[in-house]
Structure 1
């Protein structure tokens, strides 16, 4: 099946757009710009965007069961109230690692948030994965890497996909019903000339999509790790996709201007925009977090 070309739906000039998530209660797509300290919302029915300033680097945003949001800040996990533009600290698991920041996250079927951290200088092996649920935040027990991405969960929540971006590897780990991690195996390795695997997303058929930072594309892999499709973009840095719309059949993709010099930015005027395309498959209904 031929892929419809991705097109820009919202121009925000994101330095590092990340963490797109469709929030059904809002009928809107939320995402962040880590480096500009911004939270963005896109309403496709009105074709308008809105943004909020965050008090620091914000890596992800996810809806919570109280009608508000959880956000991953460099200082920890906060509750975010858009109406008051307020941020309340809930958990600070890495107060001993001031050079780290949070980078990506997802909500499990049980309402737990899984999130990852990374060395903000992209050098030290200090990135870990965590799980926060009903007031408790614990380290997941996965090996440290420099830049974590994901995680993402299989439709039944029993397989955790997590990315070592600099190592160009996506791993899969068994997850128990209580959130404990088990056996880990290699899911796929990205070849040297294809960019770096960024945020992963799982579709309704259990296949994994990953953005490719510096790779000009997103890819879809089947549950066995075999490449199925590649969708090319007019910009180099695609960070992550989310499925949205009433039937979850539109793919939205965040992109980044980070690392692009003036020549590259001239050649990629849409870098940093929010894109949409037809993925030919639906996404999974989103979960709300119970933090």
Structure 2
């Protein structure tokens, strides 16, 4: 089953567009370009975009309770103020691992900030997940992989989904009230030739969407891990979607030019753009990080 074809709404040519998040207070979509060291904000009502330069690779951006943002720089978690483009360090969980960087994140229903790290060379299994809540940042008891993506949470916050991108596996695990995670169970295995599972997002019906890097698509899986829908794109590297707009019924998708040679870029002139499509379902309201 497929939906209407996605269309480009912002020609930005991102090297590695990632981490889209709809921020209701701004009525805007925020996302990052990891390799270009950029934060982007797109206002769909006015069709206007703004950008900021970051001091290094940035994996994600999420809103905080003080009306600012938390961001995941390679050096650690920082607070970002768009008004003066300032960055204030909050925590460096992997200061002893300079080859790692942050890659993806989300806010759990309880306001805790969860994020993952990865080996920037995409070779060593040095990527871990962390939970940052009320000034305390702790490593989550999940196995290390080379490239983490996610996590994402079920609507009630009792299940966490996390991705081993190079292993082409999406896992699920129970989450206790204190943030401890149970034994991971395989949720979905991406078959050969279908690309690599990238950022996951959960909709209002509890189904999981994942971008497929190198797979020309995003997919929707039901809570049992059954493939329900695939939306094809005119570009190969689809990284992650976010639900936004009126009633959270618009899907925004970030894409990437990373890894594409001259021929591929010629055949994919929209690679790296921000896309939009009708997902046929609403998303979950965005959460605000309590840090």
TM-score scaled to structure 2, two decimals?
A: 0.99
Counterpart-to-counterpart distance in 1, 2:262 and 2:248: 36
In structure 1, stretches of 5+ residues that fail to align are none
1:228 matched residue in structure 2 = 228
Counterpart-to-counterpart distance in 2, 1:109 and 1:206: 13
Does 1:122 pair with 2:95? no
Verify the 8 A CA contact 1:59 1:104 in the aligned structure 2.
yes
**Structure 1 position 184, deviation (Å):** 1.4
1:34 matched residue in structure 2 = 34
Post-superposition Cα deviations, 1:78-110, rounded to whole Å, max 9, x if no partner, equal: 000000100000000000100000000000111
Does 1:217 pair with 2:220? no
Q: Secondary structure at the match of 2:41?
A: strand
Verify the 8 A CA contact 1:27 1:246 in the aligned structure 2.
no
Counterpart-to-counterpart distance in 1, 2:133 and 2:51: 27
Post-superposition Cα deviations, 1:120-159, rounded to whole Å, max 9, x if no partner, equal: 0000000000000110000001000000000000001110
Q: How many residues align?
A: 291
**Structure 1 position 183, deviation (Å):** 2.4
2:142 matched residue in structure 1 = 142
Post-superposition Cα deviations, 1:142-181, rounded to whole Å, max 9, x if no partner, equal: 0000000000000011101000000000000110011111
User: In angstroms, what is the RMSD of aligned CA positions?
Assistant: 0.6
1:193 matched residue in structure 2 = 193
In structure 2, stretches of 5+ residues that fail to align are none
Q: Secondary structure at the match of 1:167?
A: coil
2:180 matched residue in structure 1 = 180
Counterpart-to-counterpart distance in 2, 1:277 and 1:70: 27
Find runs of 4+ consecutive structure 1 residues off by over 4 angstroms: none
Q: Secondary structure at the match of 1:263?
A: helix
Counterpart-to-counterpart distance in 2, 1:3 and 1:154: 23
1:270 matched residue in structure 2 = 270
Q: How does 1:20-169 map to 2 (within 5 A)?
A: 20-169=20-169
Q: Secondary structure at the match of 2:263?
A: helix
Counterpart-to-counterpart distance in 2, 1:50 and 1:213: 26
**Structure 1 position 246, deviation (Å):** 2.1
Verify the 8 A CA contact 2:2 2:229 in the aligned structure 1.
no
**Structure 1 position 2, deviation (Å):** 4.8
